[in-house]
């Protein structure tokens, strides 16, 4: 037998485990033993009807109980008024076992440790815990109140439409990817733990039995119990084997099945159903509902395989598979090549990117899709990396930090790594891997790959940008040294170096220094007719003029930037600057120009501008709705950031912290926002300001 906590052998079958001191879950070998194990569990007990609080009473000095929301094995949930904030929140009271002091002590420890662990997860589709405390001997947590229904209640009415199931599935998979990236495994994913808000957004909640997937992390459980819910439990979890993120992927597959086909029929009960699932996958979703597309059915089938190695190996990989589908669930079926079509080169390259990692072409601005289409075999990204799902490229450190960017960004990075593996001596490919590593938040990987690119070709000026940008996030003086070195390598080096030095100065709010660097470089760029460089420098100069309190000069700089280029990466910051300068009419004209472009990215940019304009008019709800649509379609860092600012202005501080903290974990994207060899670390200065405002409006646990 093995301990479910540490996974170490326990041949004498003693309790507690001699290795870690936690309770031992002994692997059941029959349905009857499973029944007995679940009977000892704390999380599958029938809910009790009453809780310790009464409607209308004050709970401490801060909360007033408004209504009972629900009860379960772990606790009772109330809607309460937070009098300090003046808003309703959800308050969950811990239900303690009676008659066993050791079990009570263990449950309190688990409640605190594992909920603190769950607070690490910051994502718009995960309900984040606000506070943990104890009043009059009653331990509780608070979290945002979601005005909606849980998914189990919705599914009582039957299956959802395929479009709605795909939308919820994408949202939940994205939330799971964020949890797993933070080292948290949910372990009790089920429809009652999914809330559908009034905005029809799926939210993952109740990490009450979550555990850390990080070595040495808190990993406690209740003595002698199988923890979880039988109807959605992975086979390895029921056997008492060590559980990782793939157990959540299994449960996700069962939930997606029920969204497509309705609640599963289990005539012999949930435990007997689990016992059957331990040896064979459930029936195909398409067999129960012929409206389920083959590609979507294949995703469900892969999630619910009894063997962990047969499932998706990471939530990132699952997110990529769902992203490759259309809204109605159609797409390439794994193992079946798509029918050939006569597509333009750009579209064909984007299709190769999808095959490599599920990355939509528009998800990352100005990507070199032709370069991404070179080299690797277009097979699904599967490997040993516990989050990204891929083996490291030659020369990389297998213990490198896990990427923190969006799932699409990480998938793109893995595709670049594979391409680089086929041509390990290519400085250009090394540089590309450095850029994608930076964008995915792997700063050490970005630095390493950029250094290798510079070593292979010291005159490759663009390789210095990710090298300096990665350094700027932790050591600005080192970044300055890299930019100064860049200015000496080729005749084109000084122009790019000036952009980097000015960006660094703007980040540090040294507006006069930034303006001086930019004015001199603009003169040189104009002499050589370098119009793209002129456009980006005039935009940066406009930002410096705003910081100097010179709005008229800032407006002139914006107009000169637009004279030099009408690229969408110029139109977006120009429109945002116009809004800063109170020229809404000009900003909205640029938004219309962006929307008229035939790319999803340009339309997303238009949405960002329109949302910011709406916020300035006091139309926060309209702005938030627009930005949520942009985020769902593109997952752009800037869209998340602006959404966070909208939440702050609407006093929705918990939502604001979720968005802004996510932007902080994905700060590598802000450092090179448009992926066009122009550094943009200055965007992070504003992020810090808005996070401070959000924290000031929200009481959180230190």
- Tell me which residues are annotated as active site: 188
169 Cβ partners below 8 Å, 6+ apart? 252, 256, 259, 322
| Residue (of 177, 196, 63) closest to 131 by Cα position | 63
Contact between 425 and 352 (Cβ < 8 Å): no
Q: Give Cβ neighbours of residue 666 (< 8 Å, ≥ 6 apart).
A: 404, 405, 406, 409, 441, 637, 640
Dihedral of alpha carbons 204, 205, 206, 207, sign: positive
Spatial CA neighbour of 125 closest among 193, 59, 77, 64: 193
For residue 287, how many other CB atoms are within 10 A of its CB? 11
User: Cβ distance 614 to 623 under 8 Å?
Assistant: yes
Q: Give me the torsion for CA of 314, 319, 320, 322, rounded to 10°.
A: 130
- Dihedral over alpha carbons 187, 191, 196, 201 (to 10 degrees): 60
Q: Which of 149, 165, 152, 163 is nearest to 260 (CA)?
A: 165
Give the closest residue to 254 by CA, choosing from 301, 310, 209.
301
- Radius of gyration for the alpha carbons in the chain, expressed in angstroms and rounded: 27
Assess contact for 143 and 92: CB atoms under 8 A.
Answer: yes
Task: Tell the residue number behind the tokens 């599935």, with chain if given.
Answer: 169
Tokens of 598: 């035939």
Quick one: which H or E segment has residue 209? none
Within 8 A by CB and 6+ apart from 175, the residues are: 121, 123, 124, 125, 126, 202, 203, 204
Q: Pairing relation of β-strands 211-212 and 194-197?
A: unpaired
Angle at 695 between CA 694 and CA 696, to 5 degrees: 90
3-state secondary structure of 305: coil
Cα 33 to Cα 188, 266, 504: the distances in Å are: 20, 19, 63
Q: Which residues contact 122 (CB under 8 A, 6 or more apart)?
A: 128, 178, 182, 657, 658, 661, 662, 665
Q: How far is CA 616 from CA 507, 583, 611, 620, in A?
A: 24, 11, 9, 8
> At 155, phi and psi to the nearest 5?
-70, -15
**Structure tokens of 37?**
């194990």
The number of CA neighbours under 13 Å toward the Cβ of 83 is 10
Residue 208: is the preceding peptide bond cis (ω within 30°)?
A: no
């Amino acid at each position: 037998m093995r301990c479910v906590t540490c996974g170490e052998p326990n041949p004498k079958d003693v309790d507690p485990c001699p290795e870690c001191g936690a309770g031992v879950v002994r692997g059941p070998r029959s349905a009857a033993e499973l029944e007995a194990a679940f009977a000892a569990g704390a999380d599958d007990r029938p809910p009790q009807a009453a809780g310790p609080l009464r409607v209308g009473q004050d709970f401490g000095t801060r909360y007033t109980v408004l209504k009972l929301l629900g009860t379960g094995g772990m606790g009772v949930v109330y809607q309460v008024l937070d009098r300090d904030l003046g808003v309703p929140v959800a308050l969950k009271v811990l239900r303690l076992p009676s008659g066993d002091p050791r079990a009570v002590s263990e449950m309190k420890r688990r409640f605190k440790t594992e909920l603190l662990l769950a607070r690490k997860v910051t994502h718009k589709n995960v309900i984040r815990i606000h506070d943990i405390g104890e009043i009059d001997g009653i331990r509780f947590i608070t979290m945002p109140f979601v005005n909606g229904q849980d998914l189990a209640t919705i599914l009582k009415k039957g299956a959802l439409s395929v479009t709605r199931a795909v939308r919820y599935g994408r949202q939940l998979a994205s939330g799971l990817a964020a949890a797993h990236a933070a080292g948290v495994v949910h372990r009790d994913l089920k429809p009652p733990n999914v809330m559908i808000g009034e905005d029809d957004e799926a939210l993952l909640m109740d990490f009450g039995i979550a555990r850390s997937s990080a070595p040495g992390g808190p990993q406690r459980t209740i003595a002698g119990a199988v923890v979880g819910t039988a109807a959605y439990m992975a086979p390895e979890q029921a056997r008492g084997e060590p559980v990782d993120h793939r157990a959540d992927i299994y449960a996700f597959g069962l939930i997606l099945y029920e969204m497509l086909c309705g609640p599963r029929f289990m005539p012999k009960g949930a435990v007997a159903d689990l016992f059957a699932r331990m040896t064979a996958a459930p029936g195909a979703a398409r067999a129960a509902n012929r409206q389920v597309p083959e590609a979507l059915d294949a995703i469900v089938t892969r999630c619910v395989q009894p063997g962990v190695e047969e499932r998706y190996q990471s939530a990132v990989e699952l997110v990529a598979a769902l992203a490759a589908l259309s809204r109605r669930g159609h797409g390439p079926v794994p193992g079946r090549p798509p029918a050939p079509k006569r597509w333009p080169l750009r579209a064909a390259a984007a299709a190769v990117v999808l095959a490599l990692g599920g990355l939509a072409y528009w998800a990352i601005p100005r990507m070199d899709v032709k370069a991404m289409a070179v080299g690797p075999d277009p097979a699904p990204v599967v490997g040993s990396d516990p989050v990204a799902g891929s083996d490291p490229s030659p020369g990389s450190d297998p213990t490198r930090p896990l990427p923190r960017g969006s799932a699409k960004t990480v998938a793109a990075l893995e595709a670049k790594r594979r391409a680089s593996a086929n041509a390990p001596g290519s400085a250009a490919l090394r540089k590309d891997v450095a850029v994608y590593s930076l964008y995915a938040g792997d700063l050490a990987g970005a630095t390493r790959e950029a250094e290798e690119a510079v070593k292979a070709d010291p005159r490759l000026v663009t390789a210095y940008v990710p090298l300096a940008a990665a350094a700027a996030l932790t050591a600005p003086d080192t970044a300055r040294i890299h930019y100064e070195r860049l200015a000496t390598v080729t005749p084109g080096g000084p122009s790019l170096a000036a952009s980097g030095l000015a960006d660094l100065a703007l980040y540090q709010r040294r507006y006069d220094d930034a303006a001086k660097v930019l004015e001199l470089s603009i003169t040189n760029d104009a002499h050589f007719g370098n119009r793209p460089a002129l456009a980006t420098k005039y935009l940066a100069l406009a930002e410096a003029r705003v910081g100097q309190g010179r709005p008229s000069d800032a407006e002139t700089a914006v107009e000169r930037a637009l004279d030099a280029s009408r690229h969408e990466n110029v139109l977006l910051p120009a429109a945002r600057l116009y809004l800063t300068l109170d020229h809404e009419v000009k900003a909205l004209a640029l938004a219309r120009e962006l929307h008229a472009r035939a790319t999803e990215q340009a339309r997303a940019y238009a949405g960002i501008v329109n949302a910011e304009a709406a916020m300035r008019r006091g139309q926060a709800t309209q702005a938030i709705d627009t930005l949520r649509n942009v985020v769902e379609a593109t997952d752009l860092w800037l869209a998340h950031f602006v959404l966070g600012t909208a939440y702050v202005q609407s006093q929705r501080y918990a939502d604001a912290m979720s968005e802004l903290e996510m932007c902080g974990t994905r700060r590598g994207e802000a450092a090179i926002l448009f992926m066009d060899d122009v550094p943009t670390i200055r965007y992070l200065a504003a992020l810090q300001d808005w996070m401070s405002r959000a924290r000031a409006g929200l009481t959180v646990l230190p």
